[in-house]
Amino acid sequence: MAHKFEIYKDKAGEFRVRFKYNSETIFSTEGYKSRASAENAIASIKKNGPEAPVEDASVA
């Protein structure tokens, strides 16, 4: 599978989520104190992401 979410611990010991495509990180989240919070972030992205509007900030 080319797309995947990856939960990892950062240097501060917080859980973060990376979204990867073909081993390239597309985005990562803020740090969370618990794994459950990181998993909730993934669920939220999956639920709300498809309906998120696209905002074109390149237009002056």
Q: Is the pTM of this model over 0.75?
A: yes
Closest CA to 28 of 36, 42, 18: 18
| Domain parsing of the chain, residue ranges | 3-49
At residue 59, the pLDDT reads 83
CATH number belonging to the domain at 3-49, selected among 3.30.160.160, 2.120.10.30, 3.40.50.620, 3.90.110.10:
3.30.160.160
CB within 8 Å of 23: residues ≥ 6 apart = none
Residue 47 pLDDT greater than 80, yes or no: yes
Separation of alpha carbons 39 and 25, rounded Å:
18
pLDDT tens per residue, range 10-44? 999 999 999 999 989 999 999 999 999 999 999 99
Task: Tokens for 46, please give them.
Answer: 């999956």
